[in-house]
Structure 1
């Protein structure tokens, strides 16, 4: 091959790589924008932030929103005042949303809110100035019927074993935008028999998925969301405590490798989202025939990954052709063309 021809080939390869990168960045931008819109709509029915507490009605039930208040008796009294205005007599707060709360020593103490005047079904707690949560912080009359807890934007780094004591009826746990890098093995034990959904999203620091669920089996968990985390690698132990999961979101979690047998014992798994990872190839043993046979059409998502489309990955192309794959995976090695347009084994 002449020098001119060789340069031409190299130029074509470089241009293809640039085009592929631009396509990936565009898809990533659109996906992140969509995710932000979904999260915004999630709280669309909740009243705007205020400098005290306010009440509104929504499909979630009676909702109280408090913002910018010093924690302690002041907060409790303000919430009780709102509850006194409820039209119903059960004194149940459907959603209690607390934003930008002020605390001493940047700590959420054990008795940060104490009352026997009402109970809460769902607590949304967002306070960037808190970096510590004491044990039993969610124990007490007010939380005895709590079924959903959302914690966001705290600077807390560790979840101790006693933080969730008293939440034996909690069904949904969501922790996002925190700097958590350690979760004690028994941290989720108090709600092990009740949890059906766990979401640990955007925890910033590198994480081993196994550490997210600890050593206590969570038999009722069917919905798992670990998106936007630095996961690295998945193995046979990653989901050992949540083997009954049916839906698993792992998109944009910097996954570099997945061992054979990772999903082997997840007999109910029917939706798996692996979009936007660092995967370039996969061994066919990762999913296996049994898992593929269980999954319904369009329930495996593999798009926005830099797939190296060759004979070793031809099995994955066949899954796409058989409608198991629900999005449009593309070949980074072939100018970002969709799987269907590339001959993996020329």
Structure 2
């Protein structure tokens, strides 16, 4: 369940209160920003702001939040955890806090860390069953998972089923709309020019195009490729040239991922009895409204796409590395 801090935010908004450094014996904790509230613009610069009608002040706060509206990411894997602090503007006043919480919230992850997240826009990159998604499980809409390589069809099904089980053990991932399988993950570094970062990312912190369908992000990356670092441009061209929509290997992978999802979702539901599961998996168990129960779960499964992920740090991230 999402942590509701709207009324008591001042008491718990400093996310470093949730990290006991004295207990971090095997964790190298690097905080890339001062988590204390940032100072807002001095009231003297616009002393009559509070005299404006509430609806105008609310409009101004929404415009001020525009910089926060680009897609961000939260990462959780066996090597590191990347979380996000609450936006600085949420600390200013009750109205700014209300605007910030219209689309975002504070969530506790499975490893006990706390992150800010906006389900409608943000992504979760999840590369480990070591830590589950915690309270994000029931809210995440876009999940990025790494490609599982060098597996037979049966091994792939088993591994993906085990991974998906971790989601359902945490909570009900019923809001999950898309699972992006990352064939490559690239983080902007010092070899990227400021122009490349600006043109590719804009106000976002992550670009994850779905390579097997028309997606404006593909045109966006294509249009930026001329200023990307050479190695990144070559990598993009390599994967861009793969016909994922006709690739037998990808269709097999996506099919096994979908089958693993349906199997796991049905197993954790209270709709299919254990004694009915063999008929269910063989699509012989019929739904009362027509069609099979297998098709019923398939219709409600998230879409599965291949993707190439570009990400960049923004200085506000809370990074914990695990050894």
**More helix, by proportion:** 2
Structure number with bigger Rg: 1
**TM-score normalised per structure 2:** 0.28
**TM-score normalised per structure 1:** 0.27
Higher RCO (C-alpha under 8 Å, 6+ residues apart): 2
